[in-house]
């Protein structure tokens, strides 16, 4: 099975050439891009090719990357061979007390951005964190508002962040599986463990019921799975252990 890897996990691991060689050696065939690898997109594409890797998806932040910055975003995406583009997070103003109206406005911006990306022949979606599941001042849930007011965009579900937001990923998969096309696979350490890694764990070493989650995601038609750890103390260890665990799910 082809497995992807969010390169943000290895942002501090050393030269990209060595990281890509390590990932390919561990069995990865795909990677997911982020802003740290787009400065020389043709040069990075050459590194991918040299290691037998592809980059079917990438993160571009903030949403302005799909508005005034759309031309640069599309140029990087096409140079790297991407098909799916995701906005990976809300800007700061949405993270600290924004109301439902603000989130609805963001959703409408994303809906407009999605049309432009699709017009360019690519796919577009949103990648969640925990903010989207924490009740807003009026009690609304931002993710619900986004799904309602941006009805044509895809969802790259970061399953562990759904849990950290206090929501049930299985319930969202059951209700909105038709929107979820891609998933981030990460794990949450037992309470009090891996504090130097912000409480994240290598995939298969934490508390997430990944066999059940994978069954639900596959049943919903998800076809791209991306390993990620937000703050690994050893990115190579994370990459190797996680793909080995993933293959057992």
Q: Do strands 154-158 and 180-185 pair parallel, antiparallel, or not at all (unpaired)?
A: parallel
pTM (whole model) above 0.75:
yes
Over residues 59-73, the mean pLDDT reads 98
User: How many structural domains compose the chain?
Assistant: 1
Instruction: Indicate which CATH number applies to the domain containing 19.
Output: 3.20.20.150
Grouping H, G, I as helix, E, B as strand and the rest as coil, residue 46 is: helix
Please say whether the beta carbons of 178 and 144 come within 8 A.
no
Residue 1 pLDDT > 70, yes or no?
Answer: no
Long-range own/partner contacts, residues 43-48 (CB < 8 A, 24 or more apart): 44/16, 44/80, 45/79, 45/80, 45/81, 47/16, 47/17, 47/20, 48/20, 48/80, 48/81
Which of 187, 191, 192, 190 has the alpha carbon at shortest distance from 231?
187
Look up residue 122 and give its DSSP letter.
Answer: -
132, two tokens: 């989207």
CA distance 104 to 92: 16
pLDDT band for position 142 (50/70/90)? very high
Segment 169-176 shows an average pLDDT of 98
**% residues pLDDT > 70 (the chain):** 100
Give the pLDDT confidence of 14-65 residue by residue, as tens digits.
999 999 999 999 999 999 999 999 999 999 999 999 999 999 999 999 999 9
- Domain range for residue 106? 4-246
């Amino acid at each position: 099975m082809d497995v992807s890897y969010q390169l943000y996990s290895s942002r501090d691991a050393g030269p990209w050439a060595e990281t890509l060689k390590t990932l390919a050696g561990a069995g990865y065939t795909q990677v997911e891009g982020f802003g740290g690898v787009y400065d020389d997109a043709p040069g990075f594409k050459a590194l991918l090719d040299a290691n037998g890797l592809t980059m079917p998806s990438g993160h571009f932040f903030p949403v302005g990357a799909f508005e005034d910055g759309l031309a640069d975003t599309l140029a990087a995406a096409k140079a790297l061979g991407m098909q799916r583009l995701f906005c990976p997070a809300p800007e700061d103003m949405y993270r600290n007390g924004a109301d439902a109206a603000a989130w609805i406005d963001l959703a409408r911006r994303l809906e407009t951005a999605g049309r432009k990306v699709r017009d360019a022949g690519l796919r577009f979606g949103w990648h969640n964190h925990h903010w989207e599941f924490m009740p807003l001042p009026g009690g609304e849930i931002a993710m619900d508002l986004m799904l309602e007011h941006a009805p044509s965009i895809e969802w790259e579900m970061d399953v562990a962040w759904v849990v950290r937001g206090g929501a049930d990923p299985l319930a969202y998969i059951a209700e909105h599986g038709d929107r979820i096309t891609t998933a981030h696979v990460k794990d949450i350490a037992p309470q009090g463990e891996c504090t130097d890694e912000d409480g994240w764990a290598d995939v298969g070493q934490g508390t997430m019921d990944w066999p059940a989650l994978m069954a639900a995601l596959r049943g919903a038609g998800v076809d791209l799975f991306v390993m990620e750890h937000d703050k690994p103390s050893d990115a190579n260890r994370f990459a190797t252990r996680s793909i080995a665990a993933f293959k057992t799910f």
